[in-house]
Amino acid sequence: MKSIYYHLNKIKAAALILLSVVLFSRCVDEVPMDISGYKEELIVNAIFDTSLSNHYIYVSRTGLLNPIPEKEADVKLFINDVRVKDPVPHTVYRLFHKQVYRPCFLTTEKFNPGDRIRLEVATKDGKHQTVAETAIPKSVGIDKISWEEPVVGKQHGTLYTTMTDPKDEKNFYQLRFAEEGVFEDKPYRRILSMNHSQEPVMNDGKSTATTSDEDSYFSSPNNNMGVFYDKWLNGTYTLKSGVRVAQIRPGAEYYVLLSSITEGFYFYLRAINTLESEDFIEGLTTPIILPSNVKGGKGYVAGVATERIQFSKK
C-alpha cells in the first residue's frame, strides 16, 4: 500500500500542472491580438548614385506581416528644383534568378555631386502622399588599391584601399566591393561581402579581429554595410578589409567602390548594421528605429557620390 506522502506528492504535481495551465490561459487572454490601432503607411526607398545609369525607386504599403508593393503610383522627381521626366513603372529581377522579382519605378537621370533632389510619391487612391529631400555629397576618390593573397589554408585575401579625406570637413563614407557586368543585355552591379573586423576606422576606433580555426578574419556583423566617417582619419589613410577569394570568378570584372554619403544615410545604414548583427535578438533587444527622411511615410531616399577603381589580383 502506497504511503500518504506518495498521494500528497501526486496531488501537489497535479495542482502545479493545473496552476500552470491557468496562468498560461490568463496570459493568452490578457494579451490579445489587437490590430485596431494598425495604421497603413507608405514606404519609399531609393538610392541615387552618381556611378549608375539606372536608379530604382521602391514603393510599398505597410502590411500586418510584410510590406505590399505598390505597382501604380504618381512619382515625381525634381533635380535642383527642376522637374525632370517622371520615373516609370519597372520590374527588377534578381540576378540569375528571373523567377524572383520586385516591382519598382525607374529613372535614368544623371546625378552629379551637389545636386539637390526632391522625390514626391502619391498613391492612386489619394490615401498617401510623401515627400523626401536629399542631396548628392562631394565625391572623394580612391588613391590606390592593393591586394594580398591569403596564406595557405585561409579563405580571405586582404584588400588595401588608400584614400585621402579632405581636412576641416565632416565626411561620411561607405566602402564596397562589387562585381559588374552585363547579363541579358542589361548592366548589373552585385555587391559582394567584405570583412572589416581588422580595420579600426570601421569599428569605432577598435579592432575586433578574432582568430578562428576557419580564418583569421572572423565574422564582422557590426559593419556589414561598410560605413564609416572621418573621426579617425587625418588626411591620407589605407583601409584594410578581408575579401573571400571564392567570390572572385575568372572572367568577371570587379571594382572597389568608395561612396560619399550624407550623415542621415550613414545613421540609417548603421541601424541596418544593428538589425543584422548577431547580438540583436528580436523581442529581447531594445527595438531599433530606422531613421527616415520620407515625410508622410517611412523609408529613406539617399544621394550618393561613388568613385570606383577596377580590382585586379595581379
Domains and CATH numbers, the chain: 42-135 (2.60.40.10), 142-289+306-311 (no CATH)
The pLDDT tens digits of the residues spanning 200-228 come to 999 887 766 543 434 444 344 468 899 99
Residue 3 has pLDDT above 90, yes or no: no
The pLDDT tens digits of the residues spanning 80-132 come to 999 999 999 999 887 766 667 899 999 999 999 999 999 999 999 999 999 99
| Residues contacting residue 237 through CB under 8 Å, at least 6 positions apart | 162, 163, 164, 165, 201
The pLDDT tens digits of the residues spanning 138-190 come to 999 999 999 999 888 788 899 999 999 998 889 999 999 999 888 777 778 89
What's the rounded Cα separation, in Å, for the pair 219 and 156?
11
CA 251 to chain centre: 28
Cell numbers placing 134: 536629399
Neighbours of 212 (CB within 10 A): 9
Which pLDDT value is given to residue 114?
97
For every residue of 70-124, which 3-state class applies, written as one string? CCCEEEEEEECCEECCCCEEEEEEECCEEEEEEEEEEECCCCCCCCEEEEEEEEC
What's the rounded Cα separation, in Å, for the pair 93 and 43?
20
Which pLDDT value is given to residue 313?
78
What's the rounded Cα separation, in Å, for the pair 305 and 47?
10
Which of 5-9, 113-117, 133-137, 165-169 shows the lowest mean pLDDT across its residues? 5-9
User: At 250, phi and psi to the nearest 5?
Assistant: -60, 140
Could you tell me which residue, 281 or 246, shows the higher pLDDT? 246
Of 202, 196, 180, the residue nearest 248 (C-alpha): 180
Query: Residue 304: helix, strand or coil by DSSP?
Result: strand
Which pLDDT value is given to residue 286?
57
Cell numbers placing 45: 526607398
How high is the mean pLDDT of the chain? 83
| Residues contacting residue 38 through CB under 8 Å, at least 6 positions apart | 64
Helices and strands (DSSP H and E) totals, the chain:
2, 18
DSSP per-residue codes, 33-83: ---TT----EEEEEEEETT-S-EEEEEEE--SSS-EE--SEEEEEEETTEE
- CA-CA-CA-CA torsion sign (236, 241, 245, 248): negative
Cβ-contact 62, 299 below 8 angstroms? no
The pLDDT tens digits of the residues spanning 248-304 come to 888 789 999 999 999 999 999 999 988 876 554 454 455 678 899 999 999 999 999
Which pLDDT value is given to residue 198?
87
